[in-house]
A and B are shown apart, each in its own frame.
Chain A
Amino acid sequence: MLDFIAGHANYWLFIVLMMTGLYIVVAKGNLVKKIVGLNIFQTAVFMLYISSAKVAGGTAPIFPTDSKGYIKTDGIDQIIYSNPLPHVLILTAIVVGVATTALGLALTVRIREEFGTIEEENLVEIEQSLTRADNKAHGEAMGGMA
């Protein structure tokens, strides 16, 4: 039982971080802060994924080299290496994550330019008043609300 808890506590801590990120995304109205929350969530997922690559007693998957830079093949069987495949996948994911962050921030700048605010509550108000004005102007002709 103690073994099970010690072996799984790191996953649970990553999930705590993940949920903190999710809370920021859901509960906070500021668009920049939402993107920060998204980044926290994302980094927590990366850490969860990378922790599945760890082998107890292992080291980074880089072979020892001699002074000329050639790989030393003698005694290489005795070294334990962690699994390199999840590392590669997460390297790709980090770069893609920055691309999405940049896109989200560009959208934020554009929204601010168009509506003068980046607070979700104000944006909803503006949207509602725009819809109301639209309904007033065209509602009757379209057979909807006047």
Chain B
Amino acid sequence: MEISFPVFIETSINIILFAMLVATAFAITRIDRLFAVVMLSGVFSMLSALLFVTLDAVDVAITEAAVGAGVSTVLMLSTIALTERSEQKSHRPELIPLLVCFVTGAALIYGTLDFPNFGDPSAPAHAHVGGDYLVRSIKEIDVPNVVTSILASYRGFDTLGEVAVVFTAGIGVLMLISGLGRRRSDEDAALVEETIENQGIEEDA
């Protein structure tokens, strides 16, 4: 079997990226300092963005790098700043989760046996509207990037729904953590009052 040079390069890049992804994921399971865990999760997002580039999904790669590696990491860092820095050692048995993962993984791998080969041009995913969008986009939208024209025009309602979801989540976050500082200062004030009262009693006595 003759393997051409570009295919060889692409395959080796994929193998290296996969190895790094798996190593990062395993490291996250082992490490119990949360700062390291959060940083590794950023690394995982960045590596997956690189893999998206090799899979031709450049828009997804940019979004993943900005949102997955950027925003998520910042959110997690602020959370560990407000909560705890390290994970407690668990005393639960580790066998049952492993078993669950192996059974689920086996079921999923059984499911992939029906999949078309990777990169198969006659796969069902390419049979319907995907090619249609590519053909019609030039005439109807006239934007070079087909992903943009689908996102903003053909499937604009999807994006509108996405905005609704993000809005709801934003309201949820605000309602959950608004008043965090106020409640804390209330607690502090109560503590001060209590101390003053106690001192007053002592002075009276």
- A residues with a Cβ closer than 8 A to B are 3-4, 6-8, 10-13, 15-24, 26-30, 32-33, 35-37, 39-40, 43, 46-47, 50-65, 69, 71, 73, 76, 80-92, 94-103, 105-110, 112-113, 117-119, 121-122
Task: Enumerate chain B interface residues (CB-CB to A < 8 A).
Answer: 14, 18, 21-22, 25-26, 28-29, 32, 34, 37-38, 41, 44-45, 48, 51-52, 55-60, 63-64, 67-68, 71-72, 75-76, 78-80, 82-84, 87-88, 90-92, 94, 97-98, 100-102, 104-105, 108-109, 112-113, 115-121, 123, 125-126, 129-131, 133-134, 138, 142, 144-147, 150-151, 155, 158-159, 162, 165-166, 168-170, 172-173, 176-177, 180, 183
**Given A7-B119, A106-B173, A110-B176, 13 other A-B contacts at CB below 8 A?**
A15-B108, A19-B104, A22-B100, A24-B28, A24-B29, A30-B84, A32-B83, A52-B123, A52-B125, A55-B121, A96-B165, A112-B83, A121-B91
Distance from A138 Cβ to chain B, minimum over Cβ atoms (Å): 27
Are B180 and A71 in contact, CB atoms less than 8 angstroms apart?
no
What is the distance, in angstroms, from A123's C-beta to the closest C-beta of chain B?
11
A53–B101 CB distance below 8 A: no
Chain B residue at smallest Cβ distance from A94: B63
B59 to chain A, nearest CB (A): 6
Which residues of A sit under 8 angstroms from B169, Cβ to Cβ? 99-100, 102-103
- The listed residue with most A CB atoms (<10 A of its CB), out of B14, B28, B55, is B55
Contacts of A82 in B (CB 8 A): 55-57
Task: Check A88 against B64 for contact (C-beta < 8 Å).
Answer: no
B144 touches A40 (CB 8 A): no
Main secondary structure of the interface of A (DSSP, over half): helix
In Å, the complex CA distance between A8 and B118 comes to 6
A118 and B68 form a contact (CB under 8 A):
no
B residues in contact with A35, CB < 8 Å:
76
Q: Does B90 contact A4, Cβ atoms closer than 8 Å?
A: no
Of B52, B117, B126, B150, the contact of A4 (CB 8 Å cutoff): B117
Give Cα A97–Cα B69 distance, bound, in whole angstroms: 12
User: Within 8 Å CB of B79, what residues of A?
Assistant: 32, 105, 108-109
Q: A98 contacts which chain B residues (CB < 8 A)?
A: 67-68, 71-72, 75
- In the assembled complex, how far is the CB of residue A43 from the closest CB belonging to chain B, in whole angstroms? 5
Beta-carbon contact of B29 and A15 below 8 Å: no
CB closest chain-A residue, reference B87: A30
Q: How far is the CA of A4 from the CA of B67 in the complex (A)?
A: 35
Scoring A26, A61, A80 by chain B CB atoms within 10 A of each residue's CB, the highest score goes to A61
Task: Write the chain B residue with the least CB distance to A31.
Answer: B83
Contact B101 A47 (CB under 8 A): no
Asked if A84 and B117 sit within 8 Å, CB to CB, the answer is no
Q: Are B67 and A10 in contact (CB under 8 A)?
A: no
Q: How far is the CA of A54 from the CA of B144 in the complex (A)?
A: 19
Interface contact A8-B115, CB-CB below 8 Å: yes
Q: Is A20 within 8 A of B25, CB to CB?
A: yes
B108 near A18 with CB under 8 A, answer yes
Contacting pair A53 B94 (CB below 8 A): no
Give complex CA distance A110, B162 in Å: 25
**Inside 8 A of B21's CB, which chain A residues have their CB?**
17
With A12-B109, A35-B76 in contact, do A23 and B101 touch (Cβ < 8 Å)?
A: yes
